[in-house]
Amino acid sequence: MQIWRINVREQRLKREPIPEAWSHLGGRGLSARILLDEVEPTCDPLGPQNKLVFAPGLLVGHMLSSCDRISIGGKSPLTGGVKEANAGGTTGLQMALMGIKALILEDLPVEPGLWVLYLSLQGARFDQADDLAGLGVYETTRRLLERYGEKVAIALIGPGGEMKMEAAGIQNLDKDKVPSRIAARGGLGAVMGSKGLKAVVFDAAGGQKPPFTHPEAYKEAQKAYNKALMEHPQTHAYRDYGTAAMVQLCQQFGSLPTRNFSVGLFEQADAISGEHMRDLLLERGSPSNPTHNCMPGCTIRCSNVFGSQDGKVIVTPLEYETIGLMGSNLGMDSLDTIARLCFQANDLGLDSIDVGAALGEAAEAGQMGWGDGELALELLDEIRRGTPLGRVLGNGAVATGRHFGIEHVPAVKRQAMAGYDPRAIKGTGVTYATSPQGADHTAGLTIRDKVDHLDPKVQVALSRGKQISMAGYDTLGACIFAGFGFAVSPPGTIAKLLNARYGWNVPDDILQVLGKETLKLEREFNRRAGFTAEDDRIPAWMTREPLSPTNAVFDVAEEDLDSLYNW
Amino acid sequence: MQIWRINVREQRLKREPIPEAWSHLGGRGLSARILLDEVEPTCDPLGPQNKLVFAPGLLVGHMLSSCDRISIGGKSPLTGGVKEANAGGTTGLQMALMGIKALILEDLPVEPGLWVLYLSLQGARFDQADDLAGLGVYETTRRLLERYGEKVAIALIGPGGEMKMEAAGIQNLDKDKVPSRIAARGGLGAVMGSKGLKAVVFDAAGGQKPPFTHPEAYKEAQKAYNKALMEHPQTHAYRDYGTAAMVQLCQQFGSLPTRNFSVGLFEQADAISGEHMRDLLLERGSPSNPTHNCMPGCTIRCSNVFGSQDGKVIVTPLEYETIGLMGSNLGMDSLDTIARLCFQANDLGLDSIDVGAALGEAAEAGQMGWGDGELALELLDEIRRGTPLGRVLGNGAVATGRHFGIEHVPAVKRQAMAGYDPRAIKGTGVTYATSPQGADHTAGLTIRDKVDHLDPKVQVALSRGKQISMAGYDTLGACIFAGFGFAVSPPGTIAKLLNARYGWNVPDDILQVLGKETLKLEREFNRRAGFTAEDDRIPAWMTREPLSPTNAVFDVAEEDLDSLYNW
């Protein structure tokens, strides 16, 4: 494996050996290490000093179920801090087949213009792509697959990234070549846009799977993991309902973001639930019928293809976070409408969480009525056209709330909260507050844990454990749901997989070791960027305004929040 | 003297004795002390926890030349840190006549609506003012003077403050009852708007000048100060040319902000110079002919009334910072055009520096051509109408730069730089970087000092001294230009004035004592709000991109910047 370093100004590739200090890391941990080693933490995220890092996780390359994720990192234009966003799909796997440990994109182009960076075992080529300017990710993908063949992996941006919007992510193709797996959060699409890249095409032709040091030991550990994963009840729930199963769970806890996080219950939750979605998928005969996998080899199959009554695909996939932020959060009671909003956000290459929260701000400001799907679609079209209001919305919830002078912005470190109101699920609130990533449920979701979610005393320990594990999984390239399998696998399964693949001798608690190292690297980057304890806070209004029906406020003590990194 | 504390929710006034720890302070220092004692530094600036403080300086109340300024303070919606903005005019004097050491406005109103807070020796009254909603400050003033009589002082906001824009200031009447003395910077107008106040009317009827403990000693010190001030050559320059004298000085140093701080020389500088303005004022027969005073008793008379060819007033006053930011910075070569832009910014109640810089961002983004006055006026009209683009512009340069994805934003702590490019006047750059206020020339301007402005080694000591003095002057209520007089007065003049008035026994270096205390209070507020050394930085692009014609970059070492507060 090598480091591929590309200067977009010179349009030149350098292939470098892996520095000793980077070799034990992958994915999120490696990205954090590279940023800390090479990027000035106070730099302009859209300036020449920022870098964009693509790093497959340590386990990527063998279609181990749910473990082929790609981590993308850089200094975030949204939060001003460290950023890693990861995604499923095929990018991670193809990079591993090409022997790329990490791809580092540096500098800014000399002239404005749009390029496709084509990477193969022969090297790098910059292909002019001005004809793709302003195109959505779906049409762009169609053209790129025509141009580069059906076998490539593609990471690409939409108009959002081209316009350097702070809610712009980087889309990746799923195994069916649909640009649907977005490294959504924190504005990394804007960083890619600033570097003049519409797409990076990975052509692994001639590549091969990374070798194993001990193939038999690997197979044995893989078998144990697969068995554990398949037997886990949660695997089946996700296969049946996708992540949308979360709607009813959040409704039960009174944590479903509703009408800009003003209440925790949505009267029409049934109509947007996973159960209802499954009924629709079965009734309408979706290609995923009801669910399918986004990465080759994944046995969980949590994803879906949501179609309309006439059998046409509306969007792939429709996930819980989108349903929460663009559904209940906007007072929308129709999955068809939410799916249409989701399609537009995807096509624009925008984070549906931050844009959903931005629309919630717009609704609170009277720019649209709650539940007005047509107007919401019009507002998304303003983003596409780059109108002034559209640019505000495309910069996410904090920009939009500021724009309208609204205090009720559900965000931490300028990143919008996901679909769990932190007043009712306080452990996830602790994660929102203290994660170096800003408000991010994937950094440590606590809703499935058997605790009193309203008790402020128990949340920090809970969140700490989750955040360490998740930083570990993100470093492995493992999906959040792979954790269900690893958690019930024989002790040391992860260590066995790594040791068998790399010939290492890592301890059984390697997940925690990697997670702690990753969090510390990220936190150090943020510290150097100027972050303090005051950035590790839930917005004041959520500590003051009770959330119906629990009437809870976020009341985890600040000194407890500040103790999260004391482990 | 008393503290007047008003809760806008309860619409109730409490008159309180002055706490011991506040008694030796006034103006900026007192405001900082109150904020640190009473406002949670991490609160939402537009939420109920923020307070708005009006505090006349320690010398206010006797029409001592240039020493009747009002300081207004609060947590800044623009910077997120401590904020003090001060202004001339009559507000400070009237408050002193009423015996108000500080007015503290607290909480938020229960219902939306607009009020005039009428203060007299009889107490406080909230008068409904929904009829004033959306009116500019000129028409509002006309109506308020009709309603409350010609003798009152008024602090008021325009549409910008009502819309809670981050570049909104608080206007004050000058001695001719023109709303022209704006406490412009940092968005305090938005704080006033959030508290539902269109205006605070100060009616000093029945009030009297604060008593002297030692009247003779006061007179003696006053005489010495007046003499020194009158003899200072700078006093005469300001009387002749107003602050616009600065245009040619900046041009000489190559520090005149031109076309969004891209170069330091403006080809048409002559056409917007103080010399040319004087010619126009004399030729057109302005009422100020050429200059007049903004505060009763001021002998400097730096202000002007700028009229058009047909003898009609365009705006009062036209200051250098506006000429720099709305003139050369936008490529405008006509004082008439700049004056029209200034009038609109004033009427909207907006900071012409931050809005000028915002227009510079808009021009760089291609929204208007350099020098296109008509389009600039149209953009200001967008602000008035509260269109999406207008709201972006009204939130200042950083919001606008972010909106368009532009790196070239001349700002520190989210506040736009004034009319001195920090690459060519590096001492002022140090002030921009390290002042707790954000980029602010009044916090410590160094351009008149006899140093090599390009030598990075000597700037920190220079800026430190200036910042301490200015924080002291702001605490006294003394205009930046009063400093010329005090600097050449007999040693201990300020101490004599204070000791004679209050019966104190302060040392001769009281200016520095007060300045240091003030800066430390402000810096502590910012520290608690989460500011770090990383916030004390000039934007990276100015450390990288040389400024023609000096080809200087901002290269004061970061460790030197971080030593500023080591005194």
- Output the DSSP codes for B140-172: HHHHHHHHH-TT-EEEE--HHHHTT-TTB-EEE
* Ranges of chain B with pLDDT below 50: none
The amino acid present at B237, given as its one-letter code, is A
Q: Is the dihedral of CA B484, B485, B486, B487 positive or negative?
A: positive
Tokens 């009734």 label which residue? A283
DSSP B259: T
φ, ψ of residue B411 to 5 degrees: the values are -155, 155
The backbone region for A121, taken as left when phi is positive above 0, alpha when psi lies in -120 to 50, beta otherwise, is alpha
Give the strand pairing for A2-7 and A100-106: parallel
Residue of chain A whose alpha carbon sits nearest to that of B40: A540
Segment A440-499, tens digit of pLDDT? 999 999 999 999 999 999 999 999 999 999 999 999 999 988 988 999 999 999 999 999
Nearest to A402 among B395, B407, B530 (CB): B395
Nearest to A388 among B44, B392, B541 (CB): B392
pLDDT at B242: 87
Confidence category of residue A99, pLDDT binned at 50, 70, 90: very high
pLDDT at A285: 82
- Give B187→chain A minimum CA distance, Å: 12
Q: What does the alpha-carbon distance between residue B28 and residue B477 come to, in Å, rounded to a whole number?
A: 8
Nearest to A44 among B164, B194, B407 (CB): B407
pLDDT at B12: 96
Question: For chain B, how big is the Rg over CA atoms in Å?
Answer: 22
- Strand order across the B197-203 sheet: B123-128, B115-120, B197-203, B153-156, B170-173, B179-183
Segment A494-524, tens digit of pLDDT? 999 999 999 999 999 999 999 999 999 999 9
Task: Count CA atoms within 13 Å of residue A248 on its CB side.
Answer: 11
Q: Which residue numbers of B have CB closer than 8 Å to A's CBs?
A: 40-44, 46-47, 49, 163-166, 190, 194, 387-389, 391-392, 395, 399, 402-405, 407, 528-535, 537, 539-541
Confidence category of residue A234, pLDDT binned at 50, 70, 90: confident
Report the percent of chain A where pLDDT is more than 70. 100
Q: What does the alpha-carbon distance between residue A283 and residue A310 come to, in Å, rounded to a whole number?
A: 11
- Give A498→chain B minimum CA distance, Å: 39
Q: Is the dihedral of CA B270, B273, B279, B283 positive or negative?
A: positive
pLDDT at A290: 78
- Give A404→chain B minimum CA distance, Å: 8
Give the E-state strand segments of B447-522 in sequence order.
none
pLDDT at A286: 76
pLDDT at B59: 98
Segment A288-343, tens digit of pLDDT? 777 888 888 888 888 889 998 888 899 999 999 999 999 999 999 999 999 999 99
The interface predicted TM-score of the complex, written ipTM, equals 0.71
Helix (H) or strand (E) holding B73: strand B70-75
pTM: 0.84
Report the percent of chain A where pLDDT is more than 90. 89
Q: Which residue numbers of A have CB closer than 8 Å to B's CBs?
A: 40-44, 46-47, 49, 163-166, 190, 194, 387-389, 391-392, 395, 399, 402-405, 407, 528-535, 537, 539-541
- Give B115→chain A minimum CA distance, Å: 19
Q: With contact defined as beta carbons under 8 Å apart, do A363 and A331 qualify?
A: yes
**pLDDT surpassing 90 at residue A22:** yes
Nearest of B458, B438, B416 to residue B529 by alpha carbon: B438
Structure tokens at B57: 């300086």
Confidence category of residue A235, pLDDT binned at 50, 70, 90: confident
Q: With contact defined as beta carbons under 8 Å apart, do B156 and B179 qualify?
A: yes
Q: What does the alpha-carbon distance between residue B101 and residue B38 come to, in Å, rounded to a whole number?
A: 16
Alpha-carbon dihedral angle through residues A403, A404, A408, A413, given to the nearest 10 degrees = 0
Confidence category of residue A405, pLDDT binned at 50, 70, 90: confident
- Give B551→chain A minimum CA distance, Å: 20
DSSP A410: -
Chain A residues whose CB is inside 8 A of the B403 CB are: 388, 391-392, 395, 399
Chain A residues whose CB is inside 8 A of the B558 CB are: none
Beta bridge partners of A87: A70
Interface contact flag, A392 B392, Cβ < 8 Å: yes
Q: What does the alpha-carbon distance between residue B296 and residue A24 come to, in Å, rounded to a whole number?
A: 73
Average pLDDT over residues A241-250: 93
Q: What does the alpha-carbon distance between residue A548 and residue A256 come to, in Å, rounded to a whole number?
A: 10
pLDDT at A104: 98
Nearest to B392 among A40, A403, A534 (CB): A403
The amino acid present at A90, given as its one-letter code, is T
Structure tokens at A145: 């697959």
Nearest to B46 among A395, A405, A534 (CB): A405
Interface contact flag, B392 A402, Cβ < 8 Å: no
Q: What does the alpha-carbon distance between residue A54 and residue B257 come to, in Å, rounded to a whole number?
A: 40
Match domain A2-202 to its CATH number in 2.60.40.10, 3.60.9.10, 4.10.520.10, 3.30.430.20: 3.60.9.10
Chain B residues whose CB is inside 8 A of the A391 CB are: 392, 403-404
Helix (H) or strand (E) holding B154: strand B153-156
Average pLDDT over residues A426-443: 98
- Give B405→chain A minimum CA distance, Å: 6
Nearest of A232, A328, A300 to residue A288 by alpha carbon: A300
Q: Which three-class secondary structure state does DSSP give residue A548?
A: coil
Residue of chain B whose alpha carbon sits nearest to that of A389: B388
The amino acid present at B464, given as its one-letter code, is R
Cα separation values, B146 from A9, B152, B400, Å:
64, 11, 38
Homologous superfamily of domain range B2-203: Aldehyde ferredoxin oxidoreductase, N-terminal domain (3.60.9.10)
Interface contact flag, B405 A194, Cβ < 8 Å: yes
**pLDDT surpassing 80 at residue A185:** yes
Nearest to A392 among B194, B388, B531 (CB): B388
